[in-house]
Amino acid sequence: MYKRIPVSKLTGTEQFKNVGDKNFSVLEFWRYGFSNLNSNVLRGALAEFIVENALRGREQIDVRNPWGDSDVVAPNGKNIEVKCCSYIQDWDQNDFSKILWSGLKAKTLYWSSAVSDFPRSPADYKSDIYVLALFKHQDHSTLDILDMNQWCFYVLSKERIKELSKNGNSISLIRLQKFDIAPVGFTEIHRTITSIPALN
């Protein structure tokens, strides 16, 4: 069995090697592959990055681990799962998307399933806290995904989201509104998350 190779942050100035008379960097790759932050491929990772920045200083933020059992670990040690939805997608639309956060349940360390003797576990709620991020803006002409005023966040304990979803794998915005679950803004994420242990 081969151990996962540790990853450290890149600066963007790193150059590709053995490219003849060409000259291109990691930063240019980032610009090429990751400029469209409203794509479904990137928006989820962006939401995780936003939550990380709400909880800690940038010097404390490590490299994202897509294989972890949770997306973010709060300063108080609580595991956080971040899910993201948007009304406006990166394709032509006849109408805004319906807001439904899915994939609330997952198997523990699913990447280890290739190991034959690894115990298989059923999908379940893995995290202590769930942040349901919503890029709520609905005007194509003024869309700015970097503007936190165009976002809102529903922060729920595992017990509460399990109750509201009826132990399901997804939950809709309509369902949250039915139970008067109010969203918070970016500057309220830290306070809301740290207050959750007192609510459990």
Helix (H, G, I), strand (E, B) or coil at 155: strand
Q: Where are the domains of the chain?
A: 37-199
Confidence check: pLDDT of 187 > 60? yes
Helix (H, G, I), strand (E, B) or coil at 154: strand
Q: What is the pTM of this model?
A: 0.89
What does the alpha-carbon distance between residue 27 and residue 22 come to, in Å, rounded to a whole number? 15
Summarised one tens digit per residue, pLDDT across range 26-77 is: 999 999 999 999 999 899 999 999 999 999 999 999 999 888 889 999 988 9
> Would you list the DSSP string of 80-148?
EEEEEEESS-SS--SSPPP-EEE---B-TTGGGGGSTTSPP---B---SEEEEEEE----GGG--TT-G
Per DSSP, what are the bridge partners of residue 84?
Answer: 133
What does the alpha-carbon distance between residue 64 and residue 72 come to, in Å, rounded to a whole number? 9
Mean pLDDT of the chain: 91
First-to-last CA distance in the chain? 39
